[in-house]
């Protein structure tokens, strides 16, 4: 799988490729729109960075908008799209967001901003792809969750979604939006864990030209871009206390003040937020403001972990195995009884994301007429999370571990130390969030 960059300026494309391939793996460059369809058919695409103008003298973005619609028409197979625009085309970028683009980058870009946006887009793909038309599962817990969503969605109440990493919190948010009165408007997801303290206010609330160094033109924030629709604040517990205070003010007043602006702008968005923080920590006033929590948790939805709905595992296996067989052109196969039993007894500490990753691996590597337990590379069995691998500090040098086991142990220890917080665990390991997501999937965590 690769990241695609479609830009008719070879210098721009090369600069982006050199920056991104060090962090995210293979990056392919395209210069002509006519090449896009063939490139997407040749191999799976993780992410598309799309320029808006390809004809000399044209700045209306019509060709880029047409390409965006073409890509998004692929439905569940469509990769997330980051639109690249010049500073004078910010209104075009906002229109692209409303059409379904993941985000936009203005050229010339800030390297930190570009890599953070790409990391967030790749993380969202891991969360939502392949996109289901509804939340899969016939267990009692999932039926109850879907019933709650159907009751809550038509209202304007703010919703807080709680659940472990990989359990499907963004799918819940998208389902709420799809069943709401705002379904025809923008759904915009913001990974707050990917925003730094220095850029948080500008990213959420926007800025005016000249409000800070490199603010060369006006830029709308996520609240303005989601106007009339739903704004999904993922990993909301990662906000620092100062950022929480600013978010609280916006929610109370229903207006934002862009950096450098003299007056506030009214905003009309519905807020759905999510966190994998446990409720004990969430109600700790040293970590999360009680008054902000009160604003966000008008309705609380809890997404059950996969180990609490093992009856749904066969349904999920069939869905993802069929999906990846079609994607990779592999023959359709069923699971042996032993494989099915092993998958159902596995604790799936990475939840649906980990199961999906195991299915993709099995489809690619399995050789037999049926999927066997070994094809899913299950590790840790039914052990509790703290028994999945020994902590680094307890590994004796007299009993050397394979490198992959040591890496897994380090990831487990970091996730435990960070209490499941992706951003904090990535910092402990010295990794980017995207790199940590890849390692979590690699080790089935």
| 346-374 CB burial, b ≥16 within 10 A, e <16 | bbbbbbbbbbbbbbbbbbeebeeeebbbe
Residue 21 has what pLDDT?
Answer: 80
Instruction: Tell me the C-alpha distance between 321 and 325, whole Å.
Output: 6
Query: What confidence tens digit (pLDDT) does each residue in 383-436 have?
Result: 333 333 444 343 333 444 456 666 777 787 777 666 666 777 777 777 766 677
In sequence order, what are the residues at sequence separation of 6 or more whose Cβ sits closer than 8 angstroms to the Cβ of residue 180? 153, 154, 230, 270
DSSP string, 411-437: HHHHHHHTTT-HHHHHHHHT--HHHHH
Residue 200 has what pLDDT?
Answer: 80
Residue 210 has what pLDDT?
Answer: 67
Residue 213 has what pLDDT?
Answer: 63
The full set of domains in the chain, from first to last, is 2-109 (3.40.50.2300), 140-304 (3.40.50.300), 306-378 (1.10.8.60), 390-445 (1.10.10.60)
Tell the burial category of 199 from Cβ atoms under 10 Å away from its Cβ (0-12, 13-18, 19+).
middle
Instruction: Tell me the C-alpha distance between 190 and 243, whole Å.
Output: 14
Where the chain has pLDDT below 70, the residues are 1, 57-59, 87-90, 123-134, 210-218, 380-406, 416-421, 432-434, 438, 441-442, 444-445
- Classify 85 as helix, strand or coil: strand
Residue 122 has what pLDDT?
Answer: 78
* 239 in Cβ contact with 256 (< 8 Å): no
Instruction: Tell me the C-alpha distance between 125 and 105, whole Å.
Output: 18
Residue 310 has what pLDDT?
Answer: 93
Instruction: Tell me the C-alpha distance between 298 and 292, whole Å.
Output: 11
Residue 162 has what pLDDT?
Answer: 94
Instruction: Tell me the C-alpha distance between 46 and 275, whole Å.
Output: 25
Instruction: Tell me the C-alpha distance between 64 and 74, whole Å.
Output: 16
Q: Is the pTM of this model over 0.85?
A: no
Query: What confidence tens digit (pLDDT) does each residue in 324-349 have?
Result: 898 888 988 999 999 999 999 999 98
Backbone angles phi and psi of 219, in degrees to 5? -135, 125
Instruction: Tell me the C-alpha distance between 406 and 429, whole Å.
Output: 13
Residue 418 has what pLDDT?
Answer: 67
* 339 in Cβ contact with 378 (< 8 Å): no
């Amino acid at each position: 799988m690769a990241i695609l960059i479609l830009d008719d300026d070879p210098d721009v494309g090369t600069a982006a490729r050199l920056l991104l391939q060090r962090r995210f793996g293979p990056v392919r460059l395209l210069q002509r729109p006519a090449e896009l369809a063939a490139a997407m058919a040749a191999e799976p695409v993780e992410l598309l960075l799309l320029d808006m103008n390809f004809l000399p003298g044209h700045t209306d973005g019509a060709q880029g908008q047409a390409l965006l619609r073409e890509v998004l028409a692929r439905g569940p197979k469509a990769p997330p799209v980051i639109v690249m625009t010049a500073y004078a085309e910010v209104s075009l970028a906002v229109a692209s967001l409303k059409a379904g683009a993941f985000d936009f980058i203005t050229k010339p870009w800030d390297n930190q901003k570009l890599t953070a946006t790409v990391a967030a887009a790749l993380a969202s793909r891991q969360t939502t792809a392949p996109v289901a038309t509804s939340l899969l599962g016939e267990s009692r817990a999932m039926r109850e969750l879907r019933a709650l969503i159907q009751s809550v969605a038509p209202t304007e109440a703010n919703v807080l979604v709680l659940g472990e990493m990989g359990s499907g919190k963004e799918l819940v948010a998208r389902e709420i939006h799809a069943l709401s009165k705002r379904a025809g408007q923008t759904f915009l997801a913001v990974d707050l864990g990917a925003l730094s303290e220095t850029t948080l206010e500008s990213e959420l609330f926007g800025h005016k030209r000249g409000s800070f160094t490199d603010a060369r033109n006006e830029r709308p924030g996520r609240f303005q871009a989601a106007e009339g629709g739903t704004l999904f604040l993922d990993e909301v517990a990662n906000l620092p206390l100062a950022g929480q205070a600013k978010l609280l003010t916006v929610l109370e007043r229903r207006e934002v003040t862009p950096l450098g602006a003299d007056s506030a702008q009214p905003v009309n968005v519905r807020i759905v937020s999510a966190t994998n923080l446990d409720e004990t920590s969430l109600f700790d006033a040293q970590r999360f403001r009680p008054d902000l929590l009160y604003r966000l948790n008008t309705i609380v939805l809890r997404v059950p972990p996969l180990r609490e709905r093992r009856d749904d595992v066969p349904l999920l296996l069939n869905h993802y195995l069929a999906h990846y067989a079609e994607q990779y052109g592999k023959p359709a196969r069923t699971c042996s009884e032993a494989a099915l039993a092993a998958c159902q007894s596995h604790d799936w500490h990475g939840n649906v994301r980990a199961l999906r990753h195991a299915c993709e691996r099995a489809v690619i590597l399995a050789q037999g007429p049926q999927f066997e337990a070994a094809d899913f590379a299950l590790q840790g069995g039914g052990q509790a999370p703290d028994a999945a691998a020994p902590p680094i500090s307890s590994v004796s040098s007299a009993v050397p571990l394979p490198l992959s086991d040591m890496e897994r142990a380090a990831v487990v220890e970091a996730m435990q130390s960070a209490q499941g917080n992706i951003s904090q665990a990535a910092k402990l390991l010295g990794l980017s969030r995207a790199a940590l997501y890849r390692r979590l999937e690699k080790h089935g965590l």
